[in-house]
Amino acid sequence: MPGSDLGGSDFEEFAASALPALLRFGHVLTGSPDEAEDLVQEALAKSLRRWRRVSADDPVAYVRKVMVNTHLTRWRRWGARVRVGEVPELAADDAGLARSQEWDALRRALAQLPSRQRAVLVLRYLEDLPDLAIAALLGCQPATVRSQAARGLAALRPLLAAGTTPTMPGDDEYAR
Amino acid sequence: MPDDAHLENKLRGLLRDPKWSVPPRPDAQARIRQAARRQRVRRARLTGAAAGTVIVACAAIIPATIGLLGRAPGLAGGKWPTASTVYAEFDAKLTGTVVPISAASNRPGKPIHVGGLMAVTPDGKTLYVSSGASTIPISTATNRPGKPIHVAGYLTIAPTGKIAYAAGVGGAVGSVGGKITPVNLATNRPGKPVRVCSIIGMIAFTPDGKTAYVSCPSTGPSTVIPINTATNRPGKPIHVGPGGREIAFTPDGKTAYVLGVHTVTPVNTATNTPGKPIRLGANPTALIAVNPDGKTAYVGTIGTVIPISTTTNTPGKPIHIGAGVPAEEMAFTPDGKTAYVANEEGPTGRVVPISTATSTVGKPILIGVGAVIAITPDGKTLYAAGQNKVVPISTATNRPGKPIRLPYGFPGGILATP
C-alpha cells in the first residue's frame, strides 16, 4: 500500500534540509517564487506518500524529477506571467547593480524559452546533471538534451556574452 | 566572442545567484502533509491541494435539513435509524477509499473505491469525490458511484446546492491558467471555464450562495475576486494581505475573513471592501473558522488557536493546545459552545476541545498519527479519523468511544452528511 508510507522523522529531516535547494530549483524552473512553493509542496507531498520507496533511492533526484515533470505538464510557457514587480531592490554598489541587472535579464530571458529548453538548462547548469541523467529524467534521448541545451544557450548568448554592464536586449530578440 | 565554456560558467554563476532563493514557510511541512493527504489518484496527471480542509469542515457542520438513510449490510431493514452518514476517506488502493459509517450504529458500510476531496450537497443526497482530474458523484442513498464528471480540479459546492465551482485549489491541475469551472449539479455538466487569476488558493461561497470568493495568493499583496454565481462573472479584485488564501465567512455572510501569511483581512461583503488587516503576531497554519454564533473567528498556529472578536476585529489571547501541535482542523457544535481543534501533523494526532465562552481547553483526546474531524449535524458526536480507524467522541463527555477499525491506511478527509 504505497499510499500509507506517510514517512516519519526521516522525511521531516529530509524535507527540512532539502527545502531551500528545492525552492531555489523551483524558482529557477518556474520563474516565480509562488509557483516554486506550490511545485515543491506538490512534489514533496507525492514523495511523502511513497516515502519508503523514495528514501531507499535518491530522494532529491526523485523530488526534482516530479517537479520537472509536473511543471512541464502544467505550464507550456509562462513568459507572460513573470511579475517584474517582484524583482528585489538593486544593490547599491556598481558591481552589485550590474549583477542584479544581469540576474534580472537572465530571469526575463529564461522566461522566453520553451519550458523544456529551460528545464534542460536548469538541470544541466544549476544541478550539474550529466546529459544522460537529464535524458532519463525527461524521457528523451541524450541527443535531444544536447540540442535543447545548445538552442537554449544560443538564445541566452547575447545576454551571457555581455560584459559587466550588460545591455538589455528587448524581449523580441529572445522570442521564438 | 567568448567561447561556450565561458558562457556556461557565467550561466552557472547566475543560476546560483542568491536572488533565486525562496525562504521556506515555517509551516511548510504541515502543508506538504496536508497536500499529501489530498493527493489520491495516480491516474490523474496532477493532483494536490493545500487548502480545502475548511471547506470540508464547513460542509460537515451545515445544520441538518433532511434526513438521510443509507444501507448497511447486517442492519435490520437495511436502513440507518438516524439521519447522518459519516464518510471517511483513506489512502488505501491507488484510488483511495471512501467508507460510509452510520452515525447511529457506528457500523461501517461497504468501502467505495474512489478517493479525493469530498464535498456533500446541502440536501445530503450526493457526495462528490474529486480526484483532481475528474469528480465522481455518489448517491448517499445507495453509496454507488455515478458517472464521472470530467472537470479538472476539486469541487466547492454552493450553499444553494445548485452549482459548484471546480478549481485545482493549491496549485493543482485546475488552477493552471487560473480558471474555475462551474458545474451544474442538477445535470452534473461542467460549464465554460472562467479565468480568475494565475494561482487559485481557495473558493468559498457566501452563505446566501450569491457570490463566490476566489483567493489569489501571492508572496506579495494578494487579492480575492468575487464571482457573481448567477452570471459566473468575476468582479473587481479585493486587496488583502500577503499570501491571502483561506476564507471564512461569518454566519450572517456580512464579513469574510481572509487568512494570509501574517495577517487576517476582514472584507465587507456588501461593498467588497477590505478592512484594516489584523496582525496575528504568529505564523498561522491553513486554519481559519468562524464560530456558528458569529462572535469569534479562530486562526490556527503551531501550538495555539488565536481567537479574533468579529465585533472589534482584534485578536485575543492565544489558546494553547499543546507545544508543537499545529491547529489544522476545527469543528464546532451547532450551538457554538464547543470548538474542537485537531492536528494532522505534530507529535501526536489529537482532538482538543475548547469551551468557546471561556477559551478554556479540555483534556486532549489522542488519536494516533494525525486526525481529521467532522461533527454530526445534531452535534452529539464528533468523528476523528486516524490511521486505520475512526474514533467517535461524545461531545457531551468529550470521551472517545470504541474505535471503528478500518484497515484502509491514512485518512484524507471526513464529513458527516446534513
Number of H helices, E strands in chain A: 9, 0
Task: Collect all residues of chain A within an 8 Å Cβ-Cβ radius of residue B173.
Answer: 74
CB contact under 8 A, B46 and A75: no
Where are chain B's structural domains? 27-416
Cell 484524507 -> residue: B412
Cell 529530509 -> residue: A14
Q: Does this model's pTM top 0.80?
A: no
CB contact under 8 A, A4 and B92: yes
Q: For B96, which residue in chain A has the nearest alpha carbon?
A: A3
Cell 544557450 -> residue: A153
* B199 closest CB neighbour out of A34, A126, A156: A34
Q: Distance (Å) from the C-alpha of residue B220 to the closest C-alpha of chain A?
A: 8
What is the pLDDT at residue A160?
79
Task: Collect all residues of chain B within an 8 Å Cβ-Cβ radius of residue A48.
Answer: 32-33, 36
Q: What is the largest CA-CA distance in chain A?
A: 57
Q: Distance (Å) from the C-alpha of residue A119 to the closest C-alpha of chain B?
A: 12
Task: Collect all residues of chain B within an 8 Å Cβ-Cβ radius of residue A81.
Answer: 198
Task: Collect all residues of chain A within an 8 Å Cβ-Cβ radius of residue B176.
Answer: 74-75
Query: CA B331, B333, B337, B342 torsion: positive or negative?
Result: negative
Give me the architecture of the A91-174 domain, per CATH: Orthogonal Bundle (1.10)
Of B364, B362, B394, whose CA–CA distance to B378 is shortest? B394
Q: How far apart are CA A121 and CA A110, in angstroms?
A: 9
CB contact under 8 A, B15 and A126: yes
Of A150, A28, B8, A146, whose CA–CA distance to A134 is shortest? A146
Average pLDDT per 10 consecutive residues for chain B, totaling 418 residues: 78 90 82 64 24 26 26 34 80 76 95 87 94 84 93 87 80 54 96 86 93 86 95 96 90 96 94 96 88 97 94 97 88 97 78 97 88 93 93 96 90 90
Task: Collect all residues of chain B within an 8 Å Cβ-Cβ radius of residue A26.
Answer: 22
The identity of residue B163, as a single letter, is I
Q: Distance (Å) from the C-alpha of residue B282 to the closest C-alpha of chain A?
A: 20
CATH 1.10.10.10 domain span(s) along chain A: 91-174
Task: Collect all residues of chain B within an 8 Å Cβ-Cβ radius of residue A96.
Answer: none
Q: How far apart are CA B161 and CA B121, in angstroms?
A: 6
- Is the minimum CB–CB distance between B171 and chain A shorter than 8 Å? yes
* B21 closest CB neighbour out of A6, A24, A160: A24
Q: Distance (Å) from the C-alpha of residue B326 to the closest C-alpha of chain A?
A: 15
Cβ within 8 Å of A, B 16-45: 16-17, 19-25, 28-29, 31-36, 38-40, 45
CATH of domain B27-416: 2.130.10.10
CB contact under 8 A, A6 and B369: yes
Q: For B171, which residue in chain A has the nearest alpha carbon?
A: A38
Q: Distance (Å) from the C-alpha of residue B94 to the closest C-alpha of chain A?
A: 7
Task: Collect all residues of chain B within an 8 Å Cβ-Cβ radius of residue A70.
Answer: 46
Under DSSP, is residue A85 helix (H, G, I), strand (E, B) or coil? helix
Q: How far apart are CA A166 and CA A164, in angstroms?
A: 6
- Is the minimum CB–CB distance between B366 and chain A shorter than 8 Å? no
CB pairs under 8 A between A and B: 148
Q: Distance (Å) from the C-alpha of residue A169 to the closest C-alpha of chain B?
A: 17
CB contact under 8 A, B20 and A19: no
What is the pLDDT at residue A52?
66
Give me the architecture of the A2-74 domain, per CATH: Orthogonal Bundle (1.10)
What is the pLDDT at residue B2?
59
CATH 1.10.1740 domain span(s) along chain A: 2-74
Tens digit of pLDDT at every position of chain A (176 positions):
333 334 455 777 888 889 999 999 999 998 888 888 888 988 888 787 777 667 767 788 889 988 887 777 654 333 323 332 233 333 344 566 777 788 888 888 887 787 788 999 999 999 999 999 898 888 778 898 999 999 999 888 888 776 543 333 333 332 22
